[in-house]
Every structure is written in C-alpha cells, then in structure tokens.
Amino acid sequence: QDSLLRIRDLTKDEIMGILKDAQLFGVSHKDWQLPQRKLVANLFFEPSTRTHYSFASAEHQLGCMVENFSAQGSSVEKGESLYDTVRTFESIGYEALVIRHPKDEYFRELENIRIPIINAGDGAGNHPTQCLLDLLTIYQEFGTFEHIRMAIIGDISHSRVAASNKEAMELLGGECVFSGPAQWQREGYPHMDVDAAIEWADVVMMLRIQHERHATSMQMSKADYLQQYGLTKERAARMKSHAIILHPAPVNRNVEIDSDLVEAPNSRIFKQMSNGVLVRKAVIKRAFGAEFEGGQ
Ligand code: CP
C-alpha cells in the first residue's frame, strides 16, 4: 500500500508507471474496478472543485465506497488536531484518505498513520496529482519529456503546482523556466522575462494569483496584471505553432489569461481536468497495490 505525498518521492519509472495506467484507464480499462470494495474518505481543509470531485469520480468509478469530509460541522471546530482527525478515520475503518490542507507538508504529522494517504495539495508545498495530470497532458501531446520546454508564469512563490512540476520536469529530462512579478520569484527557480518565456516554451502554464496565501493585497489592477504578466492574445500569437497552453485552474479569466484563450485550439485546460480523473484512478490503484489482470 503506497501513499503519494510528493513528486520527489517517486522514481522516473514510478511516474511513468502511473502515467501508463492512467492512459489505460482512458482507453482499454475504462470499466476496471478494484478487486475489493474499499472505503475511502476525501478530507479537504481548503476549497477545491477539480481535485476533490475528480478524486470522488475516480473512487466511484473504481468501485470504492466514498465519504466526503467537511471540517465545518466536524470536531475540528472543537479544536481536534489534524493527526487526531486522521487517526480517527483510520480507527473507524477507512482504508485510504485523500487530504488537502493549508499547512506545508502537513503529512509530516501523520507518520504513524498506516493507511495510504494521497496528498491533494499541502499549502505552497506540493500538488503531486495535479503535476501527474499535467505530465499526462504533456506526454499525450509530445510523446516524451526529454528536452520539452515548460514556462510556468505567475505567482511562483505561492504555487505548489510550480514546485511539483519543476521537480518532475527536471527528473524526466525537460526544462522549466519561471516568469512573473519579481516579488513572487522563488530562489532556485530560473527566471525568464514573460515575453521571452512564451516564445521559448513548448508548454506555457499560466498560474492563478494565490491571494489566499498573500500577507498583503496586490496593488496592481487586473487589467494591468494581464498586460504585464498575463497571456494576452498578442503574446499567444507569438507562441510556437506546436506549443500548448496549460493552467491548473481555477482560472481567473482576464487576469492571468485572456478569457478567449481558455478554450483556444491550443489550450489543453479542460483536457487537463479530464486527465485528472485518469491519473487519480491510477494513483488509487497504486495506493491499494492492485494489478490489472495479466499483471500489467
Ligand atoms: N487545480 C486544482 O487543484 O483545482 P481545485 O483547487 O479546484 O482542486
């Protein structure tokens, strides 16, 4: 039984194995289910639409019994800790937990927990399943990660998506650069001017401004942000002809990206969301150590 906490805990072969399973779930193994029904809970201590409900969809498709926990109305409101909450779920029979929490690397508190934990996002730390669905989308497009150039643009310092994608692309032989306002640059993350990055990249990933993680509110108007750092139609016209647009979403239309580009022919933003279900099915299969028939 395998938890999934951070991309850096996976080998290249493990990443490629998850992507291979995800692809099979999209083609020949659409109806495959776990050999035993498993009891799974989704514990989201931060808002989520895509991650929460694509995990729920994946779990239902795999034949799991699914419970969706809300901190509101639970004993978290009486001061119960994350550890005691999770230990309770383990004690009452849950067999795997999907957890999103605002604290960076919250899972360090959970080392005594014996059931698999799947990290659905920890603060500004890691978002491994988002990264895996991004990787699947890139792989479907280019058939390789070797020498693929990825530009990640926006609020880099608060982005767990940027962090996980940097780790993955470096491991898999791709290249990553980062653009955006100077105050959101991150040490060790190679910076490139936004116009240069958009022309250089095979994959242009735009990020939402993570207002909920900012100590002070942003002074710049939305229109100014779009002009200075966003993907405008003028910038998109200078992308390579084969290059694609990604965004983890939720998208703030006309802030980090012109609304008309969200569903442009070279956008894969909604494809990423569909791929999220496939990748999460593969991660849950892995968590329970299940095999496809014939040991694939
Ligand atoms: N990409 C992502 O994590 O979206 P949600 O916050 O809606 O889950």
pLDDT at 220: 85
Q: Is the Cβ atom of 50 under 6 angstroms away from ligand 1?
A: yes
By C-alpha distance, which of 207, 218, 202, 127 is closest to 168? Answer: 127
Residue nearest to ligand 1 atom 4, measured at CA = 50
The rounded distance, in Å, linking the Cα atoms of 14 and 295 is 15
Is the pLDDT assigned to residue 215 strictly greater than 90? no
Please answer whether residues 256 and 283 qualify as being in contact, where contact means their C-beta atoms are separated by less than 8 angstroms: no
Give distance in angstroms: CA of 249 to centre of ligand 1. 6
- Per-domain residue ranges of the chain: 7-127+276-295, 128-273
Please state the rounded mean pLDDT for residues 173-186.
Answer: 95
Is the pLDDT assigned to residue 72 strictly greater than 70? yes
128-273 and 7-127+276-295 share a CATH fold: yes
What is the interface pTM, i.e. ipTM, of the complex?
0.99
pTM: predicted TM-score of the whole model, two decimal places: 0.96
Q: Is the Cβ atom of 130 under 6 angstroms away from ligand 1?
A: yes
CA angle 107, 110, 114 (to 5 degrees): 120
Higher-pLDDT residue of 145, 209: 145
pLDDT at 1: 67
Q: Per the omega criterion (within 30 degrees of 0), is the bond before 35 cis?
A: no
Q: Which fold has domain 128-273?
A: Rossmann fold (3.40.50)
pLDDT at 245: 98
Q: Which residue has the tokens 């190679």?
A: 190
pLDDT at 296: 52
CATH architecture of structural domain 7-127+276-295: 3-Layer(aba) Sandwich (3.40)
Dig out the tokens for 220 from the structure.
């710049």
Q: Which residue has the tokens 């927990």?
A: 113
pLDDT tens across 94-122, in order?
999 999 999 999 999 999 999 999 999 99
